[in-house]
Amino acid sequence: MATRKAIQVGSKTVRPVLSLDNAEAKSRVLSLYKAWYRQIPYIVRDYDIPKSEENCRAKLKELKVI
């Protein structure tokens, strides 16, 4: 009985994994893209990858599908 109640309470606070419509999906993708773009200098520095920030930004733009 307590387990069922805990599941009901937990299920109310969970957000959907997928977006509700295309506009929301597009805004989520854009925010993720911007977050990755802002993190490029830290990724290059912290992981000591043999690429420049410009190369990483160009690759991210290449992978952008929207």
Residue 37 belongs to domain spanning: 19-66
Residue 3 is predicted with a pLDDT of: 63
CA angle centred on 43, ends 42 and 44, rounded to 5°: 90
Residue 56 inside a domain? The answer is: yes
Residue 50 is predicted with a pLDDT of: 94
* Position 17, amino acid: V
| pLDDT tens sequence across 53-63 | 999 999 999 98
User: What three-state secondary structure class fits 16?
Assistant: coil
Considering only the C-alpha atoms of the chain, give the largest distance between any 2 of them, rounded to a whole number of Å: 57
| pLDDT tens sequence across 22-34 | 999 899 999 999 9
Residue 64 is predicted with a pLDDT of: 81
Which residue matches tokens 């387990």? Answer: 3
| pLDDT tens sequence across 1-22 | 566 665 666 556 667 678 888 9
Residue 1 is predicted with a pLDDT of: 57
Residue 10 inside a domain? The answer is: no
Would residue 49 be called left, alpha or beta, if left means φ above 0 and alpha means ψ between -120 and 50 degrees? Answer: beta
Query: How many domains, the chain?
Result: 1
